[in-house]
Structure formats: structure tokens, C-alpha cells
Structure 1
Amino acid sequence: MSDTATPAPGEPVPRDWTHPAQGPAPTKTLGDRPSRPAVVVLALGANLGEADQTMDAAVAALTVMPGFTDVQASPRALTKPVGGPPGQPDYRNQVVTARTTRSPWEVLGIAHLLEQEHHRRRTVRWGARTLDVDIVAYGDLTSDHPDLTLPHPRAAERAFVLLPWLWLDPDAALAGVPVAELAARAEGADTVRRMPPERVHLDGGPARPKPSLPDGGRLSPGASPASRGTSRQEETAPGERIDSTWRDRT
């Protein structure tokens, strides 16, 4: 998925953007559902509004999306804008993998709906956005259709996609080439910063301080924090209830 390709970066898009995944798929390949769940790789980016909250919400929506299982989110990256008009804020970027029984065209529709849910507006090519959701790869499928080119035609050179993907899956490959190899030669890789995990409450509320134990009691070791956005167990004293509504946001 990409913005309209006609204008140069920074120039106004000459028409209102419409939803290319509406209606029937343009090819049988894009419209067919897989015979078994396919691994889909999505790239998320945002640099307007509450970007972290927006991306949290998008990942959460994918975890409960019908036809999606085994949703895994990478650590988040902070990156400088690539192309587009000058003066944009830095981006948050993240890669999400999942298994899906949806067709590629249906996944594209879901990506667009997530963008629309968070008020994505396409007025300038490669301009700032509240949320961008690109399909990087759908299994081993290839497509040269202009509305959905697979694999994504620029993913192999985008450090802000390759590095988060590598953080999530060190053995990942794109079109048969190890992502580690692509990331090593990607331009601007040294400017992609891995953001530290941020501990958030699953109801969206602010982080609360850990409860202190009376008489200087020590907390017993708990489970290690999950590295991919799953729930973590709190360190607890014997008999203390585990609060499973916390997780580390990466």
C-alpha cells in the first residue's frame, strides 16, 4: 500500500484519496484466502498526535481481529522522517507479524480501516500522518498490482522497517534475503533508535507506583517481562494477588 505515486514528495495529492481495497479484489491472487494461515508482516508508523497511544490501539485491534492469530509486535523505533516535506516530527515505527486466514485484499482493507479509525488524511505525499499501516509481506506471495505490490517495493531498503523487524525476529527473511543482511546495508540504519519499553496499564490509565510492602519486606522474583508486548506478571510477595493488567509497551 502506498500514497498516490504521481506527485513528487511534498507536493499536494491532486485528488481525494479513496479506499482502494473497497469492492472486489482486482486479481484472483489478491482475492483468494489461503488454504492455511499465512504469515503477514505489517509496518506501522506515526508522527502526529499521540503516536504511541495510536500504535498501541492499532496493535490491540489486530490482536482481536477475526482471522488473525499469533499477533506479535516489535520494539518501537524512533526515526527521522525519510523524504516528504521538511520540518516533520520524528516517527514512531513498529513491525507487527501475524498469521491470518484473510486474503491479501482483505488485509489491505483492514490496514486502511485502521488508518481511517485514527483519522489518517492523505493531503501531501510522504507527509506527516497519524497512522500508516503498510503490508510488507504476505507469506511468499508476489503481486505487481499498483494498489497492492507484494512484497512492499521499498521495504528492503527502509531501515525503519528492517530494524524493528529484526528486533522481533532475528531469523526473518524478505523475498529470500535475510532481513539482517538487508538491515546491515540499509541507508540511515545508524539513525534508527530503539525506544526503551514503557510500562503501561492495559486500561489506558497512567502508570501506578508499585505497592510497598510493610516492614521493609522484599518482593520475590516474578516472571521476566515479555519482549513482544504480551502481559507480564508482577513481582509479588507470597500470597499477594498478581495484577495481570500491566504490560511493557515496546
Structure 2
Amino acid sequence: MSELLSNIAECIEFGKINKVAPFPPQMKGQDGADELTRQALDEGISAQRILTEGLMVGMEKVGIKFRENKVFVPQVLMSAKAMSTAMIHLKPFFLSGEVKEKGTFIIGTVEGDLHDIGKNLVSMMVEGNGWKVVDLGTDVKAEQFVSAIKEHQNAFVGLSALLTTTMVSMEKITKAIKEAIPEAKVAVGGAPVTDDFRKKIGADVYSPDPQGLVEYLNAQVA
């Protein structure tokens, strides 16, 4: 049973989506995250265990490799795709309450910025670690963030920006969130963002990579 879960983790780590997927070459012809997750459920392994001992283990390994520049965006996107494929089988168990989510994370690319690869990577990493992700998309205004936080009580929020010109929006949005919901925890990230900038605008956390954010979130609910 534990071998099956470690095989699922390996599929996530290396981005093996299903049996017919050609990537990665060293796993060609083998079952992927799709088949193995279904097999695990058929064998009576709980959805919670598949998530925590399979998907989350694989996503953590990818996150650490990405932080250390051992893998790059295309590989992480393949891992995310493998995870999404496995999650399709687990979704009914989330909806029924059998799988407990750690909390809710609201994310969006700030107003004026249409870049979404970084945001999508973070979303996938966070979801793969057992969180419910509410993705507001790109070009998201302050009031949209505020309304989402009011709708999802106690949610954490992440603001993404890739352009230096939209860092102004990040500051404006952070201030609007803090005024409306002072206790809300705001994370910021993106290529031009630094920890000094985070302090300047009054956000709570900055991470240069998705894994750092995941570790921060997990520590808040540990």
C-alpha cells in the first residue's frame, strides 16, 4: 500500500500524468498519477492518505527542487498537471468533507497585470499541499480581493505581480485589504517584489518561490 503512495508521489515529482503521456522519458509506458490514484482508491486507501502521503510528498519535492534551481517552470507545470489529474479523482471526497482542507488561499494577479504563470504555479503548489484555492485570475482590483476575503472567512490572500509598474497596484490593494479586514494575512510575490517592498507596503509575508509560501501557510495552521 505504501509503495503505491510512493509511486504516486514519484509521478507528481517527475510530472507523469498518465500511461500514454510521453513525459518524462524514463517513465514511458508506466502508469501515471491518473491510473495510480484511481487504483489507490479502488484498493481502499483513503483520499486523505493519497493526498498527504502521495500528492503532497511529490509537490513538496518539486517545490524544493524549483527553489534550488534543479528544475524549471516547464517541469513544475508538468508536475502541476499530474497533480490536477490526480485531484479529479479526489475532488468528490473534498466535497463530502471526508478530506479535510487546511484552509483557504485566495490568489490573484494585481490590477493592470495580465501575467499568470507565476500565479498558476503558486496555486498548484498550494492546492497540492491540501489547501482550497480561490483563483481570482489576472488584473484583479482591490474590491474583488476584499469581497473574496469577506466571502471566505479566515482565508489567506496572495497578490502576484510581474511588472514593476503594477507594484503600485500591489501597494494599493494591500492597504485596501488591511483597511477592510485588518486581521487578513497578505502574501506578496513576483519577479520584481522583495521583502523590503513587502515591509514598505504592510504585507505580512514575501517568498521568492512557491515552496516558501507553502511552508508559511502550513506553519499558520500547524
Q: Which category describes the TM-score, using the shorter chain as reference length?
A: under 0.3
- TM-score (norm. length: structure 2): 0.26
Whichever structure has more strand as a proportion of its residues is 1
Decide which structure has the larger Cα Rg and report it. 1
Whichever structure has more helix as a proportion of its residues is 2
